[in-house]
Amino acid sequence: MNKAVPSNLEQVGPLMNRLPHELLENQEGVLYIDGVSTIELARKFDTPVYVMSERRIRENYRNVREALLRHYDKIRIYCSAKANTSLSVLKILKTEGACIDVVSPGEAFLALNAGFAPKEILFTGTSVRNDELRFLVDSEVTINIDSLSQLRRLLKIHVPSIVSVRVNPEVGAGHHEHCITAGKMSKFGIWEDQVITAYRTAKEAGVKRFGIHMHIGSGILTVEPFLLAAEKMLEIARLVHDEVGITFEFIDFGGGLGVPYRPEEKPLDLENYAEKVLSLYKKRIEEYELGKPWFCIEPGRYIVCDAGVLLTTVNTVKVTPFRKFVGVDAGFNTLIRPAMYGSYHPIVVANRLNEPEKETYDVAGPLCESGDLLARDRSLPEIHEGDLLAVLNAGAYGFSMSSQYNSRPRCAEVMVNNGQYALVREKETFEDLLKGQKIPPWLA
């Protein structure tokens, strides 16, 4: 039967390979997520709907933790809340023993609500207001400083026992210009020439414990940028240690661990990352006599990205003289990454996994915006109205970046776990569109 492989099977092979991990399964042509049928979920909760796999979140977290622990025993993982801020996701991370990275007072509030202790929460904000600093001080979370201005304003409000400084290690990287968070053009972090001043100011004000931090960007699939930036930051740590005479309790290398989205992208080699970054770390902390600080990272995308799927129903199939459009019920109000970053998300037809790719479609949302496309030129099986599409790798920066644009209420979120499922966020209603709105008295 070697030669006579039917052409549809040849095409089915790569299609099924696109399911990024074993918790996404093809059961008789239907996509299942950890034992739960996506068709059943769509019927029960309507679409669009985000579906998160609890087991996958735990697996991803444990893989990172175990990879790091193989090389160093004082590690701390601050999972980045902004990738997925759902309370249930935060609770899962809490039960794994994770710490949490927050970038706003609202995220700190949610993390506290999910059960994180203040000392397990690291706040890294930029352009922070005084009342926000006050809230963070009152909440007793650890504050990571982004500017001398922020530090001076913080010290006037309160002198915390511990302070960390976000440095700009001059090396940035990321999957898109908007996702590079260090280097010459970046608004983030404090440059080397002001770092000494920052720590000296904090020390003189009475701060006793210190951390140092960087976060160079997002969606990084190779180890080199992490190594370059780590080398630079460790040099800065030495400089601060020698000049200001402080010992770091932790050194935080930020997030940015990438996940492949496009079929041709190779996953980040986690073991290689851990080995290379930690061997550099161990070598330098010894050489620079920095003691034995906690080694910290802040993965966001890596933990939740492939644990999430966005289900969306086909409303329309429209053929123009130039394009074939599949009109679905999720647009950039629901998933903004394709419109905002030109990101690629794998898409499968959740109710036709066994059918061969036949046509090239543009997958378009319901918004009145030409940029409202989830995909261009995507090879898919022949699509019919009512089909269910699954947008994969949607667990990071999916729901958390969603909006009500075009006055579309935000969608629901569901958690699945080993054959069970539960609604974890209700879909919004029209009433939510009215929430907080007031008519001025002269119009009433």
Ligand X SMILES: *Cc1c(COP(=O)(O)O)cnc(C)c1O
CB of 408 to ligand X, least distance (A): 26
Within positions 107 to 126, which residues make up the interface with ligand X, using CB under 6 A? 124
- The CB-of-302 to ligand X minimum distance in angstroms stands at 6
**CB-based burial, 139-152: b 16+ in 10 Å, e otherwise:** bebbbbbbbeebbe
Pick 253 or 361: Cβ nearer ligand X:
253
- The answer to whether residue 215 forms part of the interface with ligand X (CB under 6 A) is yes
Q: Which of 79, 296, 305, 368 is labelled catalytic?
A: 368
Considering only 75-83, 235-243, 287-295, 314-322, which stretch makes contact with ligand X by CB under 6 A? Answer: 75-83
Which residue in 152, 130, 141 sits closest to 202, CA to CA? 152
- With a CB cutoff of 8 Å and minimum separation 6, the contacts of 438 are none
- Kindly report the CA angle at 134 between 130 and 136, in degrees rounded to 5? 115
The site string for ligand X over 295-314 (x = CB under 6 A, - otherwise) reads: ---xxxxx------------
234/39 Cα distance (integer angstroms): 50
Tell me which of 92, 98, 111, 257 binds ligand X, using CB under 6 A. 257
* Per rule CB under 6 A, count of chain residues that contact ligand X: 17
- Residue number with CB closer to ligand X (210 or 361): 210
Q: In angstroms, give the least distance from the CB of 64 to ligand X.
A: 10
The C-alpha atoms of residue 194 and residue 206 are separated, in whole angstroms, by 19
Q: Which of 20, 105, 255, 331 binds ligand X (CB under 6 A)?
A: 255
Helical spans, DSSP H, in 20-126: 38-45, 54-69, 87-95, 105-113
Segment interacting with ligand X (CB under 6 A) among 18-26, 228-236, 294-302, 355-363: 294-302
- CB of residue 179 to ligand X, shortest distance in Å: 7
Nearer to ligand X, 99 or 257 (CB): 257
* In the complex, least distance from residue 263 CB atom to ligand X, rounded to whole angstroms: 21
- Cα separation, 366 vs 315, in Å, equals 9
Say if CB 137 and CB 158 are below 8 A apart: yes
Q: Does the annotation mark 368 as catalytic?
A: yes
| Rounded Cα distance, 23 and 200, in Å | 50
- Sheet with 24-27, strands from edge to edge, namely 24-27, 30-33, 36-37
Nearer to ligand X by Cβ, of 336 and 363: the residue is 336
Query: Which residues would be at the binding site for ligand X (CB under 6 A)?
Result: 80, 82-83, 101, 103, 124, 215, 218, 254-257, 298-302
Active-site positions?
368
